Chain A
């Protein structure tokens, strides 16, 4: 068998049915194999989008996403997408072509040190110098990518290795003596955590992306209701807990919900699960949850104590650890006093939450983003996958949009990659063709990757992209307004392009929304049409999202926090479905 055939066979043996790629000189042997193969290949229009699409595929499905790019510029174009996946612990495999082994190091045409470049942004990377190494590397790659804390893998593949003949062996064993991810949390630490939780009067749970990766939403819900602790999430944790649940506080952090930021400041016990205490989540670490004892559960030991000192560290998979923690708590007899204090705490939370629900309804023209998001929520199902780009559009969505189930809110958190939303939506739709996929972008980020309109048209990938169009790099402009005396330096994007015409140039349907009520109708029609659609939504450029300035504590929110005025005083309590809600 040839090296190139081994790649495709190995990918298919690992259940890969689709790859996102862009060919090139050194990939000719591999693409010649793809020509005869039944592996679905989606030709993107820029390698960065191949990586984002593979990432979106992975985030939506929980499976490993695969992307391919050629050597040199192909590989460097993949880099942003790989780094995005790395920061958000998304399992992807990026296959990069490389110049022939005899040319490596000679500064050959389209040669770049892919291995060196991607070392700091991958969980691991490989270079196959002989064809017989390929099956083992792919097997190890899949194993490493999806176990423990997931992450991206790069496979660097010289041209001659793709052509080299070798004997393909079945039932290959791989040995990774340096890779043994911890699964089970330490029993004594879990016991300690259980006691700490029961001694506390004001517990709060902070759920991160790890809850989604480990499929432990059901356990999270169970724990929250058992100890009556409200749940706030990080951006990556959005969807891990149903946000229409009475105990949900929404997202925490720099652009988090007011109720979440204040409650975390007040709590006396913070149970952090599968999160890494990013600066965007914690604000000033000195002031973060300063009255609380902190329990930190994470599968990656290096995350514990990295940013925040914790009282009870537990290294382990969230599902395993939460199950055991719940069992420990259930075994301890809960006193009447415990029940009273839990009730006091949750009553306070419910009341507080009711009084600071963000206002969503606005009749203004140009449209307020809150109103747009409200109408989006009215037009989608709970299992609709939404992706966001980065900036105001992302934080508005994170703040106002109610996510109910895991893997339905996809966003570039750690790296904050503009241009992520659209190609990620493409990947998500390819992974789950039955689900509706809506991407909410800004005009800046969408324009960075708009060439993918060709891809969604050619492959008929019916996603709907809502471009929140304010002609600004909104988030940077917001900071300029708040912290740089309103000196709007190079964040005004000008009057071009016409997004409707841009879509039409690619044969994609383009719609424009300008008034309240139009968004709901247009989005519903677009989703029902089964056609890819771009909706240009003209929004108010002056709307800002209240935020915590960098370096400040989470309660120091600047900007007016508009609350829902006509609040009825009763949040519909959704009865949780026990045992379900996992992945």
Chain B
């Protein structure tokens, strides 16, 4: 490890990591296809994409998680910016960004003791039980993708019937807006 150069305070362009891209787009038919198509055509990888309305009536905000090094990300943002229906694009800095994901997990829980255990785990993770069936419990959990992963891992032993995740959405901290 002694010979490894330390990177302090500079962006390492070669580092492969997941980036959170926030894009403000016109709320129009076809805009999701334009964005998704661009990723496919240019060989960029989308891990997740979420779309919803924004603070402006005719605009939507997309949060895209994409993996790549600095160069790839630069190309992604530039190519996105070229789309006429895309208003603004930003690669959010992880340390100045709040990121949340919603996940619904349907767990196999037919027996009483299993149910109470599942409910306890849900509580620890600040999840809620939103549906109770004869053999299943459905948990709603919100948080960072890591936290959700951790709960899913714990619940696996009981048998997970179904998972539905929104993919993360994100916003920058403080007064900064895009």
Contacts and interface: CB of A to CB of B under 8 A. Distances in A.
Nearest to B83: A178
A177 B83 CA distance: 11
Contact of A305 (B34, B37, B74, B87): B74
Contact of A302 (B37, B71, B75, B84): B75
Given A115-B30, A116-B33, A179 B79 contact: no
Most buried by A among B41, B79, B84: B84
B82 interface: yes
A144 B84 contact: yes
A79 to B, nearest CB: 15
B75 A306 contact: yes
B41 A120 contact: yes
A300 B37 contact: no
B51 to A, nearest CB: 16
A488 B81 CA distance: 45
Given A116-B33, A127-B30, A302-B81, 16 more contacts: A115-B30, A119-B33, A119-B34, A120-B37, A144-B84, A176-B84, A177-B26, A178-B25, A178-B83, A178-B86, A179-B84, A302-B78, A302-B79, A305-B71, A305-B74, A305-B75
Given A120-B37, A302-B78, A302-B79, A177 B71 contact: no
Contacts of A123: 84
Interface in A320-353: none
A178 B26 contact: yes
Interface string B66-84: 0000010011001101111
B75 to A, nearest CB: 6
Contacts of A177: 26, 87
Interface of A: 115-116, 119-120, 123-124, 127, 144, 176-179, 300-302, 305-306
A178 B41 CA distance: 21
Interface of B: 25-26, 30, 33-34, 37-38, 41, 71, 74-75, 78-79, 81-87
Contacts of B84: 123-124, 144, 176, 178-179
A301 B33 contact: no
A301 B81 contact: yes
6 contacts: A119-B33, A123-B84, A178-B25, A300-B82, A301-B78, A301-B81
A502 B85 CA distance: 48
Contacts of B83: 178
B29 to A, nearest CB: 8
Contacts of B85: 178
Nearest to B56: A177
B178 to A, nearest CB: 13
Nearest to B36: A119
Nearest to A119: B37
B74 A178 contact: no
Contacts of B81: 301-302
Query: What 7 A-B pairs are tightest by C-beta distance, nearest first?
Result: A302-B78, A124-B84, A178-B87, A179-B84, A120-B41, A178-B84, A301-B78
Most buried by B among A124, A127, A178: A178
Contacts of B86: 178
Contacts of A300: 82
Contacts of A119: 30, 33-34, 37
Contacts of B26: 177-178
A302 B82 CA distance: 8
A123 B87 CA distance: 15
Most buried by A among B25, B30, B37, B86: B30
Contacts of A127: 30
A305 B78 CA distance: 10
A127 B34 CA distance: 14
Nearest to A113: B33
A115 B81 CA distance: 20
Contacts of A120: 37-38, 41
Nearest to A149: B82
Contacts of B79: 302
Contacts of B30: 115, 119, 127
B80 to A, nearest CB: 9
A285 to B, nearest CB: 13
B34 to A, nearest CB: 6
A176 B84 CA distance: 7
A463 B67 CA distance: 52
Nearest to B85: A178
A547 to B, nearest CB: 27
A306 B71 CA distance: 8
A504 B84 CA distance: 48
Nearest to B25: A178
Nearest to A306: B75
A123 B30 CA distance: 14
A178 B25 CA distance: 8
Contacts of B25: 178
B177 to A, nearest CB: 15
A176 B28 CA distance: 13
Nearest to B58: A177
A115 B85 CA distance: 14
A207 B34 CA distance: 31
Contacts of A306: 75
A314 to B, nearest CB: 15
A410 B87 CA distance: 34
B128 to A, nearest CB: 39
A120 B75 CA distance: 16
A120 B38 CA distance: 7
A115 B37 CA distance: 12
A119 B37 CA distance: 8
Nearest to A115: B30
A362 to B, nearest CB: 45
Nearest to B88: A178
Nearest to A123: B84
Most buried by A among B34, B71, B74, B82: B82
A11 B40 CA distance: 34
Nearest to B84: A124
Contacts of B87: 177-178
A118 to B, nearest CB: 11
Nearest to A144: B84
A156 to B, nearest CB: 11
